[in-house]
Amino acid sequence: MANYPINLHAVALYLRKSRADLEAEKRGEGETLSKHRRALYTLAAKYNYPIVDTFEEIVSGERIIDRPEMQLLLHEVEQNRYQAVLCMDIDRLGRGNMMDQGMIQDLFKRTQTLIITPRKVYDLQNEMDEEWSEFEAFMARRELKMITRRMQRGRRQSALEGKSVSRKPPYGYLRDATLHLVPDPVTAPIVQMIYSLAVDGHGAQYISNHLTKLGIKSPNGHDHWDRSTIYSILNNPVYQGHIRWGHYRHQKNTKRNTGYVRTLADEQTRVMTYHAHEPLVDSQMYSRYLEKRSKQPSVPLSKTLTNPLAGLVICALCGRTMMRKKTYNRPHNRLLCATPGCKTRGTHFEWVEQRVLQTVQEMLSGMQLAPDILLTTSHSKQPEFTWFDHHIHQLRAMITQTQKQLVHLHDLLEQGVYDSSTFESRQTLLQQRLLLLEHDLVIATDEREQVVHADTLPLTHNLQDLNPWTLYQMTPSCEFKNKLLKLFITRITYTREKTWKEPDHFHLDIFSRW
């Protein structure tokens, strides 16, 4: 039985749904968070744990970046607000990639925060608990991969049978009991209107403005339509009666470190099932649309990042990412909300950038840039972002240490410190830990190979003597600046109401990664 601590005065409660929970709810097995909340409250009452904060995650994402409540919890743990965190299982905190798990374990160990579950108490200051938690994390990742593979095989087979396997049916369609698509009498005419306007020569901006003026809700329920939504509808073969699945894959954006990017998948993974359901657009109209599209000149997209705050500044009203608009013959560029009709007022981009730098510099006053963790200098004098280098170094050191412990075990057995039962148990645990570390080292090394070289940075100073903000000012590379800011910031919420007349009258909420 777990040895539960007593006399705790500050405990946080963390609840999160998993994919298995979502499937169980669909089968009518009850609401997951309610059951878990009751079980954890019962445990807290039994040992008189005062729950000061509760974090409920209603998303099933495995990555920390996709879980806002987990981000808040980690921030509070960093501030040493709690003596323990109460959750149903340790993998509820995270079983995604190894970097997320490593960060969680390092934070709980460094702050001496306990992890309490109905089955076990984890004190990461204790070597046995730390090793056991690492082994459970390895098994959780393995289980997640197996579940993902089974789900992908099932979805692929369903797509081959002409069934819709997306989270929700495409706009303009409903799903019947057999998961096949049938036209939605309400939204199907809107899809047909979009194609008709496109065939008449109207662009995506005109169509989105036209639908917005008509008061038609967008597929995500907003009052406005985006051009990207129009493009997505016009180029989706589902409206010709086909089911397409697996043509794209989502992978981490290692170049800009901004979540995931969509790329074309390998040919063998793609599925295209023709004439799977009733089309909304006949072949004649679609051919006319393709003819119109082929006559429109294509505009090449820039491959170079020009906004150092890209992906960071969020509109407080609508939640969309703010955009930088370049202006000519003016001293300042503009920072604007990309949502049509949003009441958030824009301002000078450079003023926002300067305030961000000032605020973050105050938050992290005195922090020095550690070249062995963040930067290395190659022979070509190009700095390279190496988030993984420090972790790889740690993994190799831990592997060496574990190997030494295995050798030392035999000495302890011969000296009579361990009996045979303790020796075998300890040996099994260390061997499992060694396998876990070697597995993580392989993954970290593979991910490290994907890291992209940043633009050339003037190296007129010793990097040891530079703080992040001097480095920020020195480099002309917006991509380098963006990566540097994201080392310290998760997001920035921007507020400026219509009545705020002065351009410097705006408010920023900056959320630190630390």
Q: What is the pLDDT of residues 292-318, one digit of tens each?
A: 776 665 544 455 678 889 888 988 887
In terms of DSSP bridges, do strands 271-273 and 313-315 run parallel, antiparallel, or are they unpaired?
Answer: unpaired
Flag the least confident range among 139-143, 214-218, 224-228, 261-265.
Answer: 261-265
Does the structure show a pLDDT above 90 at 408? no
CA distance 349 to 335: 5
* pLDDT value at residue 187: 93
Q: 270 near 249, Cβ under 8 Å? A: no
271: DSSP letter: E
Does the structure show a pLDDT above 50 at 379? no
Three-state SS across 144-176? HHHHHHHHHHHHHHHHHCCCCCCCCCCCCEEEC
CA distance 275 to 292: 24
Locate 321 and state its tokens: 């990412």
How many secondary structure helices (H) and strands (E) does the chain include? 15, 19
Confidence class for position 96, pLDDT limits 50, 70, 90 = low
Average pLDDT, rounded, for the chain: 76
Nearest 5°: phi and psi at 346? Answer: -80, 175
Confidence class for position 407, pLDDT limits 50, 70, 90 = confident
Does the structure show a pLDDT above 50 at 424? yes
> Of residues 22 and 132, which shows the higher confidence score?
132
Q: What is the pLDDT of residues 97-114, one digit of tens each?
A: 666 777 788 888 889 899
CA atoms within 13 A on the CB side of 160: 8
* pLDDT value at residue 31: 67
Residue 89 CB partners (closer than 8 Å, separation 6+): 117, 119
Find, among 347, 261, 274, the residue nearest to 309 by Cα: 347
Find, among 366, 369, 353, 371, the residue nearest to 312 by Cα: 353
Q: What is the pLDDT of residues 489-507, one digit of tens each?
A: 888 899 998 888 887 889 9
* pLDDT value at residue 378: 34
Q: 481 near 473, Cβ under 8 Å? A: no
Q: What is the pLDDT of residues 83-95, one digit of tens each?
A: 999 988 887 777 5
Q: 261 forms bridges with which residues in the sheet?
A: 251
Does the structure show a pLDDT above 70 at 446? no
453: DSSP letter: B
Q: 112 near 103, Cβ under 8 Å? A: no
| CA distance to 142, 147, 437, per residue, from 161 (Å) | 29, 21, 42
Flag the least confident range among 98-112, 121-135, 244-258, 446-460.
Answer: 446-460
* pLDDT value at residue 181: 92
Q: What is the pLDDT of residues 167-178, one digit of tens each?
A: 889 999 999 988
* pLDDT value at residue 458: 41
Confidence class for position 380, pLDDT limits 50, 70, 90 = very low
Task: Say what the pTM is.
Answer: 0.48
Residue 511 CB partners (closer than 8 Å, separation 6+): 71, 75, 489, 490, 491, 492, 493
CA distance 151 to 144: 11
| CA distance to 311, 321, 398, 495, per residue, from 314 (Å) | 8, 4, 40, 9
Average pLDDT over residues 335-355: 86
Q: 90 near 136, Cβ under 8 Å? A: yes
Confidence class for position 370, pLDDT limits 50, 70, 90 = very low
456: DSSP letter: P
* 3-class secondary structure, 19: helix
Average pLDDT over residues 57-75: 76
CA distance 91 to 117: 10
Find, among 60, 68, 54, 55, the residue nearest to 21 by Cα: 60
